[in-house]
Amino acid sequence: MEAGRQAATGAAPRLAGGRIVALVRACHPEPTVAVTLFATALAAAGGRTRAGVVAVATAVGTGQLSVGWGNDLVDRGRDAAGGRTDKPIVVDGLAPGTVAGATAAALVACVPLSFLSGGRAGSAHLAAVAGGWAYNLGLKATPLSVAPYAVSFALLPASVVLGLPGHPTPPWWLPLAGALLGSGAHFANVLPDLDADARTGVRGLPQRLGPAGVRASAALLLAAGSVVAVLGPGDPRGWQVGALAAVSGLTGLGLRLGDRQAFRAAMAVAAIDVALVAAAGTRPA
């Protein structure tokens, strides 16, 4: 009897730990962490105080968690039908109720955390999060699937600038670069899922273009976003032009790799562009 109780108490932490790992996997950790770090870097480079940087990081982090968890929650039936072995709700026995609770908690926390940066910044960030939810709730399966990415990734850097001291208007090139890079990431992101999407009837814009069209669109959008990010601020230095050439090469090479590696290459391109933007500054001239 005692041995049975000890085994049960030992199993409980293991089960809890397994649920936590599955929950982390269900939030789409790579893009969630990447987007949060990108926004945090822009806030730090723009001159936010330490508290302001933390406010951006927590607001963006909770918003991305809600969108990532919400995506797997909404798509759980489709993912099961498509045999998605990378989805914890499908293969790890992660309870939908657990994901729903985590999603709700992240979304509720995101609201006050967003407004720590001010009314305009908070509204812009919540509109960006709403774009992610619009994608989850239906736009992903329509020809307008790229629109939430374009809008949300235009609003995200704009919200960071709007939260700076004095709440300046973002420079024109910053939301444009964000929209182009976010749209390119959308095309790269669906590459690993094209077969599963075909089996389950997801017909977003990338799925309608096919693999070759997806890769070409991702390359074009990422390259255009890189050009705007580097040349938009004006008077680029020699090293920035050199970095742009390197990023262009990485874009072309990365999107020739396997599907999952192509998406990671797109994230690397976005990271370099964010670093270049941070070096140039985000305040309008």
Per-residue three-class SS string for the chain: CHHHHHHHHHHHHHHHHHHHHHHHHHCCHHHHHHHHHHHHHHHHHHCCCHHHHHHHHHHHHHHHHHHHHHHHHHCHHHHHHCCCCCCHHHHCCCCHHHHHHHHHHHHHHHHHHHHCCCHHHHHHHHHHHHHHHHHHCCHHHCCCCHHHHHHHHHHHHHHHHHCCCCCCCCCCHHHHHHHHHHHHHHHHHHHHHHHHHHHHCCCCHHHHHHHHHHHHHHHHHHHHHHHHHHHCCCCCCHHHHHHHHHHHHHHHHHCCCCHHHHHHHHHHHHHHHHHHHHHHCCCCC
Would you say residue 17 has pLDDT above 80? no
Of residues 68 and 200, more confidently modeled: 68
State mean pLDDT over 37-51: 92
Q: What is the pTM of this model?
A: 0.87
Would you say residue 2 has pLDDT above 60? no
State the residue for tokens 């989850």: 136
Question: Mean pLDDT for the chain?
Answer: 86
State mean pLDDT over 263-282: 79
Of residues 206 and 201, more confidently modeled: 206
Would you say residue 1 has pLDDT above 80? no
Taking a C-beta distance cutoff of 8 angstroms, is the pair 65, 32 a contact?
A: yes
> In angstroms, rounded to a whole number, what is the distance separating the alpha carbons of residues 141 and 151?
17
pLDDT reported for residue 12? 42
Q: Which pLDDT tens digit goes with each residue over 102-157?
A: 999 999 999 999 999 999 999 999 999 999 999 999 999 999 999 999 999 999 99
Would you say residue 13 has pLDDT above 90? no
